[in-house]
């Protein structure tokens, strides 16, 4: 029986990063992954392929509609969807190969198959055949569960992988849908809806709530909806989808989406994007006393320890944002706790990014949360339109919004919609991590001309002293 100091179940961003860090700290590490390629949902069928298609579709849209202002004239712009998909697949392979290389480089032993916990410090790996003869038993002092999440379902909506798809299916259409209906106006729905809208699909977004991007700052979300509507997306908010029927055969198949109290909606393709749920089934958790909370997540303490001795959990299977970078930080903190006794993740400072055009990025408290909590605050806002670099780029839509404590000036939240928002938010995360004030950011030298000056000006505005507006 192979023995390790640590066995990691799941080779997604949380799992493989935890394995690397544990190996760096001197542990003998084994990692179990059921998929042939390493990297988890994020690298294989999530973050990476979606960003590849977002990048390609944005360039296509710009070539068709956005270069005239720069004095660049093109002939008819065509779409080779197959080539775009090939590029996406190549980007994914480069990343999964990279993860496999990192495992070898750091001396992490990879086990291919499905893991099941059978007792204290014991994990059985079943290979592709799934029988007892194909099983291998592993032993370790510590077992880290990093099995990620899966697509959340909706009553009455059955994913068939052809007409009704999840996010994985929406990354692999072989033709641009005439009409795509997206159920859910969160990060995933808006990103993938943007991809196909740019490539020529009519896109309708059905959202149960009365707003898009639930949980994000309402002012920023409202501007995002207006922007996407101008780009061509149709939004139907407050719409409760009760079922989807697929009618017709072959290429004539179409979906009929039933919406409570409204006329049915017909579409060529339907994307179900109503969130994700933890992957905790069939792991053998009950057999060793690992408890779940009311939402099916594994209960852990501040050291990522479960209710069973020697078992730990990170990433999407525990509480906190279901984001790849959060899982990575969990993984590092968990193994550092095991080896050194120290390790921590501040979930209040995990940034969220929507990779649409414009991008949307957020960290910290929203304005609504501060009002609800009765926290006194000041707000500083600065538009992209007043920034020289944004004008030069012809990317003048958007704003940076900074929320600071009214008494201490300490940064409480930063919310951005605009070009490269996902990169700009890093400054805010760093500043907030070190307890900076709005004045600290405002008095920091920012190079000119750059988009980062918008962050500086918003910080100045929080103190009532913007310079360029």
Is there a catalytic annotation at residue 70?
A: no
How far apart are alpha carbons 46 and 166 in whole angstroms? 11
| Residue 119: strand, helix, or coil | strand
How far apart are alpha carbons 14 and 321 in whole angstroms? 13
CB atoms within 10 A of CB 339: 18
| Residue closest to 335 by CA, chosen among 7, 3, 2, 108 | 7
Query: Cα–Cα–Cα angle for 316, 424, 427, nearest 5°?
Result: 85
Spatial contact of 159 and 169, defined as CB atoms under 8 Å apart: yes
| Residue closest to 296 by CA, chosen among 268, 319, 330, 315 | 319
Backbone angles phi, psi at 447, to 5 degrees: -65, 150
How far apart are alpha carbons 467 and 93 in whole angstroms? 47
Spatial contact of 154 and 241, defined as CB atoms under 8 Å apart: yes
* Catalytic entry in 65, 70, 344, 448: 448
For residue 348, give both structure tokens. 């209040």
Q: Which residues are annotated as catalytic?
A: 448
């Amino acid at each position: 029986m192979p023995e390790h100091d640590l066995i990691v179940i799941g080779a997604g961003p949380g799992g493989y990063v935890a394995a690397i860090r544990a190996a760096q700290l001197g542990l003998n590490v084994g990692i179990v992954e059921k998929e042939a390629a390493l990297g988890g949902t994020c690298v294989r069928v999530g973050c990476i392929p979606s960003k590849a298609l977002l990048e390609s579709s944005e360039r296509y849209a710009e070539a068709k509609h956005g270069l005239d202002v720069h004095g660049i004239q093109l002939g008819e712009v065509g779409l080779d969807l197959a080539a775009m998909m090939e590029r996406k697949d190549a980007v994914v392979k480069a990343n999964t190969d990279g993860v496999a290389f990192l495992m070898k480089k750091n001396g992490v032993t990879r086990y291919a198959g499905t893991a099941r916990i059978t007792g204290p410090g014991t994990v059985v790996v079943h290979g592709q055949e799934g029988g007892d003869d194909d099983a291998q038993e592993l032993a370790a002092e510590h077992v880290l569960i990093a099995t990620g999440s899966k697509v959340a379902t909706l009553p009455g909506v059955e994913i068939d992988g052809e007409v009704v798809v999840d996010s994985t299916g929406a990354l692999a259409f072989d033709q641009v849908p005439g009409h795509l209906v997206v159920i859910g106006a969160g990060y995933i729905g808006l990103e993938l809806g943007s991809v196909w809208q740019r490539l020529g699909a009519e896109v309708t977004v059905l959202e149960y709530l009365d707003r898009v991007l639930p949980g994000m700052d309402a002012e920023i979300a409202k501007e995002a909806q207006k922007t996407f509507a101008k780009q061509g997306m149709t939004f139907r908010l407050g719409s409760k989808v009760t079922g989807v029927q697929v009618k017709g055969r072959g290429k004539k198949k179409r979906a009929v989406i039933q919406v409570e109290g409204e006329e049915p909606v017909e579409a060529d393709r339907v994307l179900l994007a109503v969130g994700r749920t933890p992957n905790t089934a069939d792991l053998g958790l009950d057999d060793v006393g690992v408890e779940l909370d009311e939402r099916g997540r594994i209960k852990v303490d501040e050291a990522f320890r479960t209710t069973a001795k020697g078992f730990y959990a990170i990433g999407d299977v525990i509480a906190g944002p279901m984001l790849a970078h959060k899982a990575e930080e969990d993984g590092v903190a968990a193994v550092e706790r095991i080896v050194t006794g120290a390790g921590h993740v501040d979930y209040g400072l995990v940034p969220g990014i929507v990779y649409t055009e414009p991008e949307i990025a957020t960290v910290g408290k929203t304005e609504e949360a501060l009002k609800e909590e009765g926290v006194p605050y000041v707000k500083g806002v600065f538009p992209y339109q007043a920034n020289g670099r944004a004008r030069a780029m012809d990317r003048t839509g958007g704003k940076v919004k900074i929320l600071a404590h009214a008494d201490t000036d300490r940064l409480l939240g930063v919310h951005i919609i605009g070009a490269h928002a996902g990169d700009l938010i890093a400054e805010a995360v760093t500043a907030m991590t070190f307890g900076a004030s709005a004045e600290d950011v405002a008095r920091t030298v920012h190079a000119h001309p750059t988009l980062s000056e918008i962050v500086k000006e918003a910080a100045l505005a929080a103190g009532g002293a913007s310079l360029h507006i």
